[in-house]
Amino acid sequence: MSQPPASAPTPNRFVALLSRVGLDWFLLALLGVVGLAYWQPSIGSKASPVPWHLITTVGVALVFFFYGLKLNLEKLREGMRNWKLPIVVQLATFGLFPALAMLAKPFFGAEGEPLWQSIFFLCALPSTVSTSVVMVSIAGGNLPAAIFNASLSSLLGIVLTPLLTSLFLHTGTGGSQLWGLATQLLWQVVLPVGAGILLNSRFGALVDRHKAALRYFDQFTILLIVFTAFCESFAEGIFRSYEPADIAKLSAGMMGLYLLAFALIWGLGRVLSFSRADNIVAVFCGSKKSLVHGSVMASLLFPAGATGLILLPLMLYHALQIILASSMAQYMGRQNSLVAI
């Protein structure tokens, strides 16, 4: 049987190359569903006979239920021993980022208000869990502290993200709709997470054994939410005023936001005399933003037609944070290896 030439790239090599620069199938799939939504917006819009709203509603509830199953209360209690670190991570996530967005608001003007709102929404989101923990592990940081701080951020985000959004943005939820929003958050987010936490002692080990499959379920649910959101936005012409140059500028802005937050958090950790391992936790958990929470909260907090624009900065930030954080984590990991030698 003939072998491929040595110079020919194999699929495994291609996947490894993509992973090395921070790209994976999920980021490519995000681009794919946005492209499909642009090409055939009627498939995922309100006009579609497919009950997308019901499907995504059930998917969201299951995502947060499985998330609750992963949370071990004992590990969370252990993570509270170093009390300064959680304070820094949560203040960076829910204080520093919204403050940076508020400082940038005058540069957008009246015409850029919708785009600024989508950036503020991004800044009000909690940290990721899996990505933050993986990056801390690669960089040689304090892994138990990373698990605690990322998990705590996600739990706080259930309350703080809607609160910050309602305080500073026009979400389309007036006084008569606030009770409906609270009910949606209760049934789709709070109760599933609570039920999962209560069942962790019984089914936590089962979740650990199937965490890869559950990760795929999370990603598939996000793809559905993003697809239907962009279908609705394209159907209503939300992006007609945006050129490719605008997207490039927004991407540069998201990269600048990530690097600025990373530098400020790292500097604060140095001022507070954090160990290197704890400072790694601070920067990687404090600078991340969760696409899972963002996709879910956007569908609950904003009108359907505006959700695509709301998610655009988040999708760009999500891709850039993975690429930049991967490079930084690998660099820090190599530094730790040199110090150990």
Name the residue range of residue 37's domain.
Answer: 27-333
Taking the C-alpha atoms of residue 2 and residue 71, their distance in angstroms, rounded to an integer, is 50
- Residue 154 counted as domain residue: yes
Both tokens assigned to 285: 């958990």
Which 3 state secondary structure label does DSSP give 86? Answer: helix
- Residue 13 counted as domain residue: no
- Residue 252 counted as domain residue: yes
Taking the C-alpha atoms of residue 223 and residue 145, their distance in angstroms, rounded to an integer, is 30
Averaged pLDDT, 171-185: 54
The pLDDT tens digits of the residues spanning 9-43 come to 455 555 555 555 445 677 788 788 888 888 888 88
Taking the C-alpha atoms of residue 118 and residue 109, their distance in angstroms, rounded to an integer, is 14
- So what's the pLDDT on residue 8? 47
Q: What is the DSSP letter of 1?
A: -
Nearest partner of 149 among 160, 136, 158, judged by Cα: 136
Taking the C-alpha atoms of residue 283 and residue 260, their distance in angstroms, rounded to an integer, is 11
Both tokens assigned to 238: 């939300």
> Over 70: is that where the pLDDT of 291 sits?
yes
- Residue 2 counted as domain residue: no
More confident residue, 18 or 74: 74
Domain count, the chain: 1
Percent of residues, the chain, with pLDDT higher than 90: 21
Averaged pLDDT, 254-270: 95
- This prediction has a pTM of 0.70
Do 37 and 227 form a contact (C-beta atoms < 8 A)?
Answer: yes
- Residue 338 counted as domain residue: no
Averaged pLDDT, 317-334: 80
